[in-house]
Amino acid sequence: MATTAGGALLGLFQDPVKVADAIDSLREAGFDGSTLKTYTDTPYPEGAFGEDPENHRLYVFPFMGALCGFSVGLLITIGTQMAYPLVTGGKPILSIPPMINVMYEGTMLGAILFTVLGIIFESRLPNFSKAPYDPRISEGYIGLLVSRAEGKADVAERAMRAAGAVDIVTQPGSGR
């Protein structure tokens, strides 16, 4: 069975237990856990397939964003009040309570914006790669991608079919 240019092949399963069995078999056959990825159309409990845990640094993004937003809010409020120093309603030129309201909104906007960017980044998106993909995954099938299977594609295919894969896909992904 030929693999795609990226040396990957995708096994399609209908039963989640069989996916877990396939991952075990592939590990026994010498495939590293980092080269095995599952594709599902809905989240499963973490570790359900026995896959390697995923580490991320998403939590850095909200803090960075909050800092940026806070700084922008501070600059805008101080800058505009200093640029047009007019006492209104008896309040001092640099009135801290109103500044806090605007700075708070700036902080939250920065935090949320950076969090969204962080989610997209940490999810490794956008991803328009040519790795194999099958639309049946969105119909409840579970995909098991073996990347970097050059030279061991037959081994991988045998392991997955033995575990109960209903199909093996090697065409470039239509997931774009």
Binding test (CB under 8 A) with other proteins, winner from 108, 148, 158, 167 = 108
- Residues 159 and 146: their CA atoms lie apart, in Å, by 11
Q: Which of 79, 154, 162, 171 binds other proteins (CB under 8 A)?
A: 79
The H or E element that residue 44 is part of is: none
- Residue of the chain from 6, 7, 50, 172 that contacts other proteins (CB under 8 A): 50
Indicate the residue among 59 and 151 with the shorter CB distance to other proteins: 59
DSSP character string of 69-131: HHHHHHHHHHHHHHHS----TT--SS-HHHHHHHHHHHHHHHHHHHHHHHHHHHTT-S-----
Which window, 1-9, 90-98, 154-162, 163-171, contacts other proteins (CB under 8 A)? 90-98
Q: Which residues pair with 146 in a beta bridge?
A: 9, 36
Residue number with CB closer to other proteins (154 or 162): 162
Interaction residues for other proteins, span 109-168 (CB under 8 A):
109, 111-113, 115-116, 119-120, 122-129, 133, 135, 137-140, 143
> Which member of 29, 32, 44, 171 binds other proteins (CB under 8 A)?
44
Burial class (CB within 10 angstroms; exposed 0-12, middle 13-18, buried 19+) of 139: exposed
Pick the closer one to other proteins by CB: 52 or 155: 52
Q: Distance between CA 128 and CA 24 in Å, rounded? A: 29
Size, binding site for other proteins by CB under 8 A: 71
